[in-house]
Structure 1
Amino acid sequence: MAEPQRIPTVNLGSQGLVVSKLGLGCMGLTGTYNDPLPEDQGISIIKHAFNQGITFFDTADVYGANANELLLAKALKQLPREKIQIATKFGVLKLDFANLHVKGTPDYVRSCCEASLKRLDVDYIDLYYQHRVDTSVPIEQTMGELKKLVEEKKVKYIGLSEASSDTIRRAHGVHPITAVQIEWSLWTRDIEDEIVPLCRNLGIGIVSYSPLGRGFFGGKGVVETLPSVSSLSAHPRYQAENIEKNKRIYKRIESLAKKYECTTPQLALAWVLQQGNDVVPIPGTTKIKNLDENIGALSVKFTEKELREISEAIPVDDIAGIQHYNEGHGKLSWKFANTPPKDSSVYELN
Structure 2
Amino acid sequence: MPSSITSKPLGKNGPLVPRLGLGAMVLSGIYSTPGSDAERLKFLDEAYEKGETFWDTADEYGDSEDLLGKWFAANPSKRNDIFLATKFAIRKAPADSGTKGLQVDSSPEYCKQAIAKSLGRLGLPYVDLYYVHRVDKKTPIEKTMQAMVELKNEGKIKHIGLSECSADTIRRAHAVHAVTAVQLEYSPFCLAIEEPDIAVLKTCRELGIAVVAYSPLGNGLLTGTLRKQADWSKAGDLRGHLPWLQEDVFEHNLGVVDRIGEMAAKKGVSSAQLSLAWVLAQGDDVFAIPGTRNIHRLEENLASLDVQLSAEEEKAVRDLAQDIKGGRVQDLTGYAFAGTPALDSA
TM, length-normalised to structure 2: 0.89
Quick one: structure 1 residues 44 and 277, their matched pair in 2 at CA, closer, same or farther if it must change by over 3 Å? same
1:20 CA displacement: 1.0
Counterpart in the other structure of 1:343: none
- Please show how residues 57-76 of structure 1 align to structure 2 within 5 Å: 57-64=55-62, 67-76=63-72
- Please show how residues 274-289 of structure 1 align to structure 2 within 5 Å: 274-289=281-296
Residues 221, 238 of structure 1: 8 Å contact kept: no
Counterpart in the other structure of 2:18: 20
Residues 5, 51 of structure 1: 8 Å contact kept: no
Counterpart in the other structure of 1:155: 157
Counterpart in the other structure of 2:80: 82
Aligned pair 1:323/2:325, yes or no? no
Alpha-carbon displacement from aligned partner over 1:31-84 (angstroms, at most 9, x marks no partner): 1111112111111222211111111100111110xx100101222232611111
**Which whole-Å CA distance do the structure 2 matches of 1:33 and 1:162 have between them?**
21
Residues 103, 134 of structure 1: 8 Å contact kept: yes
- Please show how residues 38-57 of structure 1 align to structure 2 within 5 Å: 38-57=36-55
Counterpart in the other structure of 2:35: 37
- Please show how residues 286-305 of structure 1 align to structure 2 within 5 Å: 286-305=293-312
Residues 99, 332 of structure 1: 8 Å contact kept: no
Residues 164, 349 of structure 1: 8 Å contact kept: yes
Counterpart in the other structure of 1:225: 231
RMSD of equivalent CA atoms = 2.0
**Which whole-Å CA distance do the structure 1 matches of 2:121 and 2:78 have between them?**
17
Residues 22, 282 of structure 1: 8 Å contact kept: yes
**Which whole-Å CA distance do the structure 1 matches of 2:233 and 2:15 have between them?**
37
Unaligned runs of 5+ in 2: 94-99, 340-346
Q: Indicate which of 205, 208, 211 corresponds to 2:216.
A: 211
Residues 21, 53 of structure 2: 8 Å contact kept: yes
Unaligned runs of 5+ in 1: 335-346
**Which whole-Å CA distance do the structure 1 matches of 2:127 and 2:69 have between them?**
12
**Which whole-Å CA distance do the structure 2 matches of 1:115 and 1:15 have between them?**
30
Counterpart in the other structure of 1:340: none
1:248 CA displacement: 1.1
Quick one: structure 1 residues 162 and 348, their matched pair in 2 at CA, closer, same or farther if it must change by over 3 Å? closer
TM, length-normalised to structure 1: 0.88
Residues 6, 52 of structure 1: 8 Å contact kept: no
Count residues with an aligned counterpart: 325
Q: Which has the higher helix share?
A: 2
- Please show how residues 138-177 of structure 1 align to structure 2 within 5 Å: 138-177=140-179
Quick one: structure 1 residues 191 and 348, their matched pair in 2 at CA, closer, same or farther if it must change by over 3 Å? closer
**Which whole-Å CA distance do the structure 2 matches of 1:348 and 1:9 have between them?**
28
Tell me the percent identity. Answer: 40
